[in-house]
Amino acid sequence: MNEAGAAIAASVARRARTADPCSFVIFGASGDLTQRLLIPALYNLAVDGLLPDAFCIIGVARTPRSHEGFRADLEKGLRAFAKRDIDDAVAAKLFACVCYFQGEAEDPKTYERLRQELERLEQARGTKGNRLFYLATPPVAFAPISIRLAQSGLARESNGAWRRIIIEKPFGTDLASARTLNHQLLEVLDEHQIYRIDHYLGKETVQNILVLRFANGLFEPIWNRDHIDHVQITVTEALTVEHRGKFYDSTGALRDMVPNHLFQLLSLVAMEPPARFEANAVRAGKAELLDATQVENEAEALRNGVRAQYTAGSIANRAVSDYRKAQDVRPDSTTETYVALKLMIDNWRWAGVPFYLRTGKALRAQNTEVAIKFKQAPFAMFRATPIDRLAQNFLILGIQPDECISLQFNAKVPGPTITLSGVGMTFKYEDYFQVAPSTGYETLIYDCMIGDAILFQRADGIEAGWSVVQPFIDAWRHAGAQGLATYPAGSEGPKEADELLARDGRRWRPIG
């Protein structure tokens, strides 16, 4: 670690202001998300001194249980999932803020009782009436709970108190359902109250994409069709479908990853510079970029999309069976566990530059990166190294597991002849800044508590994303099993994905 970098990171952390006093109400509080991510994230915020003293957490769920039982479960979860050592005093202070509230989300009486409980806690804790409702529920409950919160007045902003709702993913399952959900929410809430989460925006290196582009004079002048040959966006996982068969088999890799996580990366990498680093300007720029990324029709989608399913194989010496044999997966499932897409962006900056996206499960390695390939030098001046043997100029934004920025270029091999070799320069976050382990939810929760929506999605961005993938959804639904490729678990993906790039005389970077 670099001492100057660590000192800068520490001073930035010290200067962050404490979040606003508020009640943090979690619907679906007995689920996995609360234990694994929300409580560890709140704990990390508490350790960093970013939680207000006037604070309470109310877990809402169906099953009757005591406050103590609920706290004990959360604490067990924290100790199991926290990536930092637990400071008992901080944990005790956090759990002292936790209450359990039993209620059926469909029952209007729940909201009346919840109001009484909230008003009591607001008095006792001095939270100033600010309320953050976190919907950690199955997606079918997003609209009904939001509507009830609004109708009961619980989400009405008054007397300077804010009321905000965080909606988890998936936000819709296609364009029509996303539009309906937006419509239902916007009928009862104002856009500024709705925080649609995408946990990729909580990742430091994802946030850094805009900083890299717009805080340096170096990159932006060459960030366009004149200098960039193509861009590869890769999000591969070595994990299989695991115990999530029920959700995954009705979702598939396209819906699960592309309109949200991959499109966040795509829009940050390719958007125009916003006028200000402010929520509406940034989100408008992202939506505009996706609007320019339209796929004409199903035929074009079939030509430019590859979908595949994993078959038996092995990952890190562990045998993996066919996707179709996984728990809760239909034996004749045609759900894709891998997709690769070629997208074109119809605007002045990117006309003619392909963006290749791929994501999949049960692959050889976990790797999330954006690789920007610059155009080749125009002619071969160095006779010992013909132009086709020059190393390719890639700028790689590594997101996970390695958080880094790396530049690959040609250098002279020491010696009497002019012989070239590909070399690389890499900046690793952990070498420079002291990075405390995090869940990725800290920034998002904190930002919502201070009212900064820059890292959350707006209705237009969500719909623009779904409208890009809709032709693929339709084309693949109509094609059924036809055209569904396969790849062995533990491989780099299907050969059809290689062919997608080979057609353009290009190839994927190795995935790990």
Specify the residue, 256 or 447, whose C-beta has the smaller distance to ligand BG6.
Answer: 256
Please state the φ and ψ torsions of residue 167, each to the nearest 5 degrees: -110, 130
CB of 379 to ligand BG6, least distance (A): 41
Question: Quick one: tokens of 361?
Answer: 């499960």
> What are the Cα distances from residue 498, in Å, to 21, 191, 218, 220, 306?
52, 42, 32, 30, 10
Among 122, 229, 256, 403, binds ligand BG6 (CB under 6 A): 256
Which one-letter DSSP state was computed for residue 154?
T
Specify the residue, 1 or 239, whose C-beta has the smaller distance to ligand BG6.
Answer: 239
CB of 466 to ligand BG6, least distance (A): 15
CB of 441 to ligand BG6, least distance (A): 10
Specify the residue, 264 or 304, whose C-beta has the smaller distance to ligand BG6.
Answer: 264
Specify the residue, 94 or 197, whose C-beta has the smaller distance to ligand BG6.
Answer: 197
Specify the residue, 131 or 199, whose C-beta has the smaller distance to ligand BG6.
Answer: 199
Interface mask (CB under 6 A) for ligand BG6, residues 17-56, using x and -? ----------------------------------------
Specify the residue, 100 or 200, whose C-beta has the smaller distance to ligand BG6.
Answer: 200
> What are the Cα distances from residue 479, in Å, to 331, 483, 497?
18, 7, 18
> What are the Cα distances from residue 307, in Å, to 276, 360, 473, 478?
38, 9, 11, 13
Specify the residue, 251 or 486, whose C-beta has the smaller distance to ligand BG6.
Answer: 251
What residues pair up with 101 in beta bridges, in sequence order?
Answer: 60
Q: What number of other Cβ atoms are within 10 A of residue 479's Cβ?
A: 15
Contact status: 249 vs ligand BG6 (CB under 6 A): no
Position with the least CB separation from ligand BG6: 256
CB of 323 to ligand BG6, least distance (A): 13
CB of 237 to ligand BG6, least distance (A): 6
Q: Percentages helix, strand, coil for the chain, rounded to the nearest 5?
A: 40, 20, 40
Of residues 335-394, those binding ligand BG6 (CB under 6 A): 368
- Is the omega angle on the peptide bond into residue 401 within 30 degrees of 0, that is, cis? yes
Specify the residue, 294 or 400, whose C-beta has the smaller distance to ligand BG6.
Answer: 400
Within its chain, how far is the Cα of 247 from the centroid? Answer: 18
Contacts of 308 (CB under 8 A, 6+ apart): 336, 337, 338, 339, 360, 484, 485, 486, 487, 493, 494, 496, 497
Interface mask (CB under 6 A) for ligand BG6, residues 469-488, using x and -? --------------------
* Concatenated DSSP letters of 383-428: TTS-GGGSPP-EEEEEEESS-EEEEEEEEEPSSSS--EEEEEEEEE
User: Are 195 and 163 in contact, with CB atoms under 8 Å apart?
Assistant: no
Specify the residue, 193 or 368, whose C-beta has the smaller distance to ligand BG6.
Answer: 368
Among 20, 73, 237, 336, binds ligand BG6 (CB under 6 A): 237
Which one-letter DSSP state was computed for residue 373?
E
User: Are 334 and 480 in contact, with CB atoms under 8 Å apart?
Assistant: yes
> What are the Cα distances from residue 485, in Å, to 240, 275, 305?
17, 44, 11
What is the C-alpha separation between 385 and 72, in angstroms, rounded? 66
Of residues 177-216, those binding ligand BG6 (CB under 6 A): 199
What is the C-alpha separation between 165 and 142, in angstroms, rounded? 10
CB of 93 to ligand BG6, least distance (A): 29
CB of 439 to ligand BG6, least distance (A): 10
Give the closest residue to 424 by CA, choosing from 395, 385, 452, 444.
395
CB of 292 to ligand BG6, least distance (A): 25
Catalytic residues: 261
- Tokens 């790797």 found at: 367
CA angle, 242 then 246 then 173, to 5°: 115
Of residues 267-286, those binding ligand BG6 (CB under 6 A): none
Q: Residue 390 burial (CB < 10 Å; 0-12/13-18/19+)?
A: middle
CB of 81 to ligand BG6, least distance (A): 14
Binding site for ligand BG6 (CB under 6 A): 169, 199, 237, 256, 368
